[in-house]
Structure 1
Amino acid sequence: MGTRELGLPEKVPSVYSLPERVTIWEVGPRDGLQNEKSIVPVEVKLEFLARLADSGLTTLEATSFVSPKWVPQLADAEQLLAGLDQREGVRYPVLVPNERGLDRALEAGVSHIAIFASATETFAKKNLNSTVDEQFAMFEPVVTRARAAGLDVRGYVSMCFGDPWEGAVPAAQVAGVGKRLLDLGCSQLSLGDTIGVATAGQVETLIGEFAGVDALAVHFHDTYGQALANTLAALRCGVSTVDSSAGGLGGCPYAESATGNLATEDLVWMLDGLGVETGVDLDALVATSKWMAGKLGRPSPSRVVNALAG
């Protein structure tokens, strides 16, 4: 019986040094669903989270405390967290945009939050209504209060490789923003290729701007089909946390024909084949994404889901 029938890739370790284990930061429940035009019932979201945990994923970004006015899909954040069956050994971080979002997160009893920064002036203005410098004044009280309350804080940096209004983004500029977030108290920094234009060489250059990789994660979109190549480049640099979305859920509203987030199944297939541990049951994950695709009424964009689900 071949590997396709088994649902498992052949394991052939890389000749390059790679992490022995990779932590997958699953963003499907939040980033993957937030731009869906039709409201997904909270019961479906809760089952999605339960199925993802059953597959072995241990970090599930559950929702966001952004204003329901801006993201109606996540207006049920409190209801979702109240109904969540939190598993031992699984983290359920939430995105918070500001102090009001932090207030809601604290009231809901969360233990992990994430903030969302911009590496470019134009995106900071459009997404945060601030300049790159001004965004830190907004984040400082959020991070300080969260850390004082015992919460872990992750920092996202968007537009790390290219900006649809400004073009290519200098690596030193991105690293400057990232280092300021770490100095504020973020324990981890996720470097985001928001419009999916990065190449492997750019990834290596940007990671090289940081003193070490222990606090770094990567978040790639697959607009140009480069997400897996860019992920492998990051792994070869020593990064061991990768963001992805089950079934490839999620789009990018800032680039035409963007295919959205790196699919978790595609990532797991590659890592399994390299002999890198993830703790994820690929067949269970594929079944979950096929189930969610049915709920959303359209096929999954994940190549691995389509290959294995038939």
Structure 2
Amino acid sequence: MCRSTRASAVPVVPDSKGTDTNPFSLDALAVFMFRVLQRVNHPGNLDKNSPNAGYVLLMFYHLYDGKSREEFERELVERFGSLIKMPLLKDDRSPLPDGVKSVLEEGINLYKLHTNRHGRLESTKGSYAKEWAKWEKQLRDTLDSNADYIGSVQVPFESAVKQVLEQLRLVAKGEQETPSTEKRTSGAIVFAAVSLPVTEIQSLLKNLSGKDPNIELFFKDKDMEHCLKKAHVTLAHKRSHGVPAVASYGPFLHQKVPVELTALLFTDKMAALEAQLGSVDGEKIVSRNEWPHVTIWTGEGVPPKEANTLPQLHSEGKATLIEINPPATISGTMEFY
């Protein structure tokens, strides 16, 4: 038996006036920040109690820096096949108040200074830590004092839902091509990972089976060409590591990452390849998972995350470990899902 986790998702894109250098307007950024700062006990730890919520939102905002709205939407259509737009801002809204515009621009400038000097270092650390703390408070005060304005420029929730449902109805009728990927926009990102080509993983497994009778016996009754539809090394998961940890991989988005596969671990319920991540432009890619790996098979009813227990099971004599010598290196791509 094999367990498939493949599912399609439709990207949700706020409808706002983009600029030449970013697909999201400052109006949209203000609304996103205001909404986040109204959250309480958010699972990803990105809410009103997060000391660097504004900084994290700026990280997401800069994922698309350098792209116009047209380029951004064109790329999404190319990747997903169709686009579902969730209305965010009213067309006839009044201009962004000077105070809100000023605090956002100040944050953007501070973000550029910080990243130019410290790269992906958290805003609570580094030479601009005091400036960030002051700005985060200023951001909250400014948005709170303009709460009525921010509420007035947003498309009513009922209207937004109605428009989204209509678009989904067209997709269901086949009048729009449905997407065939799990990748999502920043607002729905669940985890960061290095995606690996499945064909190369399958070739590796066939090669290992031909050299080791134990591996051949394990895969004998498993249709891996059918079961193995995707392969990746998880870097950080929103639920386990928090939103900031996931967002921290933004600078490496779409970059090639060499992955060294050093061992195969398996039980009668699951199997995974042990992985060691390489570097991008001289910077080592580090997974937040204690055991970086590629889950390649799970039995029926076994969630892929259970593969994290394989090293412990091996230490207890409950799992088999076979070293890959010499290790196999496969190049993957850093992606958000």
Q: Which structure has the bigger radius of gyration?
A: 2
**TM-score (normalised: structure 1):** 0.24
Q: Which has the higher strand share?
A: 2
